[in-house]
Structure 1
């Protein structure tokens, strides 16, 4: 890619801009005018609500039903996928969710919430946290501390516990 022409600075864009440009057409198929509602769901409704539900689609009224002159377009219904067992809680939070969604979108385009109880995919897609690789010095210290233990299974468990306990200890801590 060469250097930019003299006097012009290169245009830098964030990765989010590229991703949003690719997601917008996919989001439009689900009734969302833009992908920001999907991408920023956690910021819009808060972490607690986002852990319990996610937006699935916006259902707009049929196009054949035109609004009367001087009346605004009929609002949409927000379909939420809700973790099983939390439907009642989300139903009680619906007015606050609607207010936040409409504030984010900039106009009162959603006036109803429909709930669909189904497990969220968010937890399944998150990779499990990997433990840090074992430190040979910590392992040696833990094995030295468990020398007197004769039962192999108990000793292995104590060594593992000792490694983890020593991992939390800082160098400047006193013994």
Structure 2
């Protein structure tokens, strides 16, 4: 809440922190980070993430534009290599000028993409005891009966729409 008793949107609370983190990695415009999927497309965003932007030191022979380093998922780096120019054009369209001169691709394992690759578990509604209890009646071992009841409840909840 602000000092006037009004709630602030979460985006307003995080904007400065996102900007600081982005600028530490060379992203002067955080739009590239926050709208990566819309900029490069869903198929590329599924296999690549922007890692950093490095600006060249001024001087003779310095390349024009910055270097965008993209983290690619394993063998997908080969596909990205062929699409580098298209990705560069789309990123520069996001900036509004020719900010990125080249794209560098770094390969990474699936663990780098695990946070988005793993689907969130769906909350399942527990089955009523009257449906599960008859399935485990004849089992005398308490631990085994409870384990079988949990298994039965899980199977019943997955088999229903």
Identify whether the pair has TM-score above 0.5, normalized to the shorter chain: yes
Give yes or no for the alignment of 1:129 onto 2:120: yes
Give yes or no for the alignment of 1:60 onto 2:50: no
Give yes or no for the alignment of 1:100 onto 2:82: no
RMSD between aligned residues: 3.9
* Equivalences, count: 157
- 8 Å CA contact 2:53–2:69 kept in 1: the answer is yes
For 1:24-173, what aligned pairs fall within 5 Å after superposition?
Answer: 24-65=19-60, 74-119=64-109, 121-124=112-115, 129-130=120-121, 132=123, 135-137=126-128, 139-144=129-134, 163-164=153-154, 166-167=156-157, 169=160
Give the whole-Å Cα distance in 2 for the aligned partners of 1:20 and 1:126.
Answer: 25
Greater Rg over alpha carbons, structure: 1
Q: Which has the larger displacement, 111-120 or 139-148?
A: 139-148
| Unpaired stretches in structure 2, ≥5 consecutive residues | 140-144
With normalisation by structure 1, the TM-score equals 0.65
Give the whole-Å Cα distance in 1 for the aligned partners of 2:25 and 2:19.
Answer: 10
Q: CA deviation at 1:63?
A: 2.1
- 8 Å CA contact 1:60–1:75 kept in 2: the answer is yes
Question: 1:111-149 CA deviation, whole Å, 9 max, x = no partner?
Answer: 321111123634147877345365241x53245357689
- 8 Å CA contact 2:127–2:153 kept in 1: the answer is no
| Unpaired stretches in structure 1, ≥5 consecutive residues | 4-9, 68-72, 150-154, 171-175
